[in-house]
Amino acid sequence: MSAAVVAQKAPYPVEVKAGESYWWCACGRSANQPFCDGSHTGTGITPVEWVSDKDGKAFFCGCKATQKPTMCDGSHKAL
């Protein structure tokens, strides 16, 4: 399995909708951050689904080092 790469050392703020499903890029290789575009193929890493329970802004992890996928937990500050 290949290691995840840092897409950016900061979260991606995204407007999300209640009940909608989002596929977070865990590998860092997607060109459509913070979401999966299929670029993980061959890495052994797979995207992680997240379903919003409300309308509003969500802060998806961009560094891929979060301990609480799929959201930023501040781990990027240690990179």
* Interface with ligand FES, residue 62, by CB under 6 A: yes
**Residue 56: closest CA among 10, 13, 11:** 13
Distance of CA 55 to the CA centre of its chain: 18
Rounded to whole angstroms, the Cα distance separating 25 from 47 reads: 5
Rounded Cα–Cα distance for residues 21 and 46 (Å): 15
Least separation in angstroms between CB 16 and ligand FES: 16
Which lies closer to ligand FES via its Cβ, residue 38 or residue 56?
A: 38
Site for ligand FES in 30-59 (CB under 6 A): 30, 36-40, 45, 47
Q: Note the residue count of the chain.
A: 79
Q: How far is the CB of 74 from ligand FES (least distance, A)?
A: 6
Q: Which residues bind ligand FES (CB under 6 A)?
A: 10-11, 25-27, 29-30, 36-40, 45, 47, 61-63, 65-66, 72-76
